[in-house]
Amino acid sequence: MQSGVAARIDYSHPAQIELHEGQMDIGGGAGELVFERVKVQLRTRLGAEVFNSWFGRMKLAEASRGIVRLSVPTAFLRSWINNHYIKTIDELWKAEEPSTLKVEVIVRSATRSTSAAAPAETTKEPRRSTKSTGSAATAAKSSAPANSSAPLPRNAAPVEIEARGSSVGSPLDHRYTFESFVEGPSNRVAFAAAKAVAETAPNAVRFNPLYIHSSVGLGKTHLLQAIAAEAIRNRPGSRVVYLTAEYFMWRFASAIRDNSALALKEHLRDIDLLIIDDMQFLQGKSIQHEFCHLINMLLDSAKQVVVAADRPAADLESLEPRVRSRLTGGVSLEMAAPDFSMRLSMLRGRLLAAQAEDPTIEISDEILNHIAHAVPGSGREVEGAFNQVLFRRSFEPQLDIERIDEMLAHIFRSGEPKRVRIEEIQRIVARHYNVSKTELLSNRRTRTIVKPRQVAMYLSKVLTPRSLPEIGRRFGGRDHTTVLHAVRKIEDLSTSDTKLAQEIEFLRRLINEAQ
């Protein structure tokens, strides 16, 4: 740390603004010095614990022409810092360097290849909940907590309600039960283990921790909430807590900030069954430390822990090795995609649930069979198709197979929604990379804009039926060869750059979910 040196950023050199492939504008050593001084002051003001939680992985990405860009590895961190600390950082920076116009926080993916940036880390934004709308589980993943003054980071988590003796859990969706879960070859073992955990008496744990993983929409949340609901029924008086990793992070971060971490830890001590969903989103060193401490304590005192994630524990790269190792020490089970007869059972289950609310609803078994054939994907896709048919049926009561085919063809193409609009792709990509749509369509060649622009063009080509010239027109009147260049470039890069490939996969998902 070189505090004491009067630092001035050189905002005048145009080469710092117009960047080319692979270059990074760091604002020179002077910018770094101001950054170090601002960090020292932040640490002094906030204390080491809070500072490390939020700023430990912050880097200086760029400082030029009065604009300072600080990068963090995740959108969650960016959102949190923007909500809580950006004003302070802005003031501190301006005090050090009065010609500063603006300080902003960006997500690191937009600033690859910088010596100032951290080594590759996951840049995945906390996923938007895609659970059925209107459910308590959705609320748990998207609403603000009722009893806290701290603004909740976007997508971060839930309304805090009392779930049988617990004041730290997320609410459960009453529809997610073992009875409504369709069991089949792809999930039989996980289902059996889940039931065994829910039915086992307290302190008689069998699989600990039980770790369930699968790709999206294959029923992890459903199964975890079913365990919670069943255990609450079977174990009167026990503390059963279901919560998402994002909510856990938010609770701890708030507690650290409010100096109430001790009280929270105390409160978590006597949980009998802890169920954590979406483990892949647990981030931050000190929070992982707390998490590790908590599960060690629970496992050591023979309390059951159940965890779900979208990949095996060993592949959760953003987790500290000791958390990973603790998670791999129990039983790990994978769930795969449902087969035809499971999909058909899901559809029948959905129909019965709909009929319970409105007995006039009728959809023939022939149509259900047809949908089960036509939609080969996850439980979520089956659910989406059913909802579409239900909705259409309300104003087209005579839906026949042909009409349904037509309708599903519009929604699904090898498991992916078809009708994607270029505007929507531009909006989502711009937001993800923290650039404006105008910048995306402009002629600016800065690296932080070129990459999102190329990614958006690539996604427009693969997710829509539009031609290259048409895409070029929608991107500020560019020539079709420019679009072709972008498509090839992103295709090439994503075969060797796994981080970029993951980003693109994540964006695809966001775009599909937004349809």
Ligand X SMILES: Nc1ncnc2c1ncn2[C@@H]1O[C@H](COP(=O)(O)OP(=O)(O)OP(=O)(O)O)[C@@H](O)[C@H]1O
Binding positions are 217, 219-221
Q: 112: Cβ–Cβ under 8 A, 6 or more apart, which residues?
A: 451, 499
Query: What distance in Å separates the CA atoms of residue 132 and residue 136, rounded to the nearest whole number?
Result: 9
Smaller CB separation from ligand X, 13 or 188: 188
- Read off φ and ψ for residue 380, nearest 5 degrees: -65, -40
**Minimum distance, C-beta of residue 278 to ligand X, in the bound complex (Å):** 6
| 375 is an interface residue for ligand X by CB under 6 A | no
| 310 is an interface residue for ligand X by CB under 6 A | yes
Smaller CB separation from ligand X, 7 or 140: 140
- H/E stretch holding 509 reads helix 498-514
**Minimum distance, C-beta of residue 132 to ligand X, in the bound complex (Å):** 5
The distance of Cα 427 from the centroid of its chain, to the nearest Å, equals 18
**Minimum distance, C-beta of residue 394 to ligand X, in the bound complex (Å):** 20
**Minimum distance, C-beta of residue 404 to ligand X, in the bound complex (Å):** 20
| 502 is an interface residue for ligand X by CB under 6 A | no
Smaller CB separation from ligand X, 106 or 190: 190
| 383 is an interface residue for ligand X by CB under 6 A | yes
Please pick, from the candidates 50, 68, 75, 182, the single residue that binds ligand X as defined by CB under 6 A.
182
- Read off φ and ψ for residue 277, nearest 5 degrees: -105, 155
**Minimum distance, C-beta of residue 463 to ligand X, in the bound complex (Å):** 19
| 130 is an interface residue for ligand X by CB under 6 A | yes
Q: What is the length of the chain? A: 515
Smaller CB separation from ligand X, 232 or 346: 346
332-351 positions binding ligand X, by CB under 6 A: 338, 346
| 181 is an interface residue for ligand X by CB under 6 A | yes
Q: Indicate the annotated binding residues for ATP.
A: 217, 219-221
| 379 is an interface residue for ligand X by CB under 6 A | yes
Query: What distance in Å separates the CA atoms of residue 283 and residue 53, rounded to the nearest whole number?
Result: 10
Tokens at 31, concatenated: 């910018």
Q: Tell me if 511 sits within 8 A of 416, measured CB to CB.
A: no
Smaller CB separation from ligand X, 43 or 348: 348
Q: Tell me which residue has its CB nearest to ligand X.
A: 379
**Minimum distance, C-beta of residue 203 to ligand X, in the bound complex (Å):** 28
Query: What distance in Å separates the CA atoms of residue 454 and residue 398, rounded to the nearest whole number?
Result: 45
Using the contact rule CB under 6 A, the part of the chain among 125-133, 258-266, 323-331, 482-490 near ligand X is 125-133
Instruction: Fill in the per-residue mask, 190 to 229: x = in contact with ligand X (CB under 6 A), - = not in contact.
Output: ------------------------x-xxxxxxx-------
Smaller CB separation from ligand X, 131 or 447: 131
Type of residue numbered 104: E
Please pick, from the candidates 41, 132, 387, 512, the single residue that binds ligand X as defined by CB under 6 A.
132
Query: What distance in Å separates the CA atoms of residue 135 and residue 409, rounded to the nearest whole number?
Result: 28
| 27 is an interface residue for ligand X by CB under 6 A | no
Q: Which long-range contacts (CB under 8 A, 24 or more apart) does 154-157 make?
A: 154/75, 154/79, 154/126, 155/76, 155/125, 155/126, 155/127, 155/128, 155/129, 155/246, 156/76, 156/79, 156/126, 156/246, 156/247, 156/249, 156/250, 157/244, 157/246, 157/247, 157/250
**Minimum distance, C-beta of residue 282 to ligand X, in the bound complex (Å):** 14
Query: Under rule CB under 6 A, how many of the chain's residues touch ligand X?
Result: 22
Tokens at 81, concatenated: 């810092």
Phi-psi region of 4 (alpha: psi -120 to 50; beta: other; left: phi over 0): left
| 166 is an interface residue for ligand X by CB under 6 A | no
- Read off φ and ψ for residue 441, nearest 5 degrees: -90, -5
Q: 244: Cβ–Cβ under 8 A, 6 or more apart, which residues?
A: 140, 141, 157, 158, 170, 276, 277, 278, 281
**Minimum distance, C-beta of residue 275 to ligand X, in the bound complex (Å):** 12
> Which residues of this chain interact with ligand X, rule CB under 6 A?
130-132, 180-182, 187, 214, 216-222, 278, 310, 338, 346, 379-380, 383
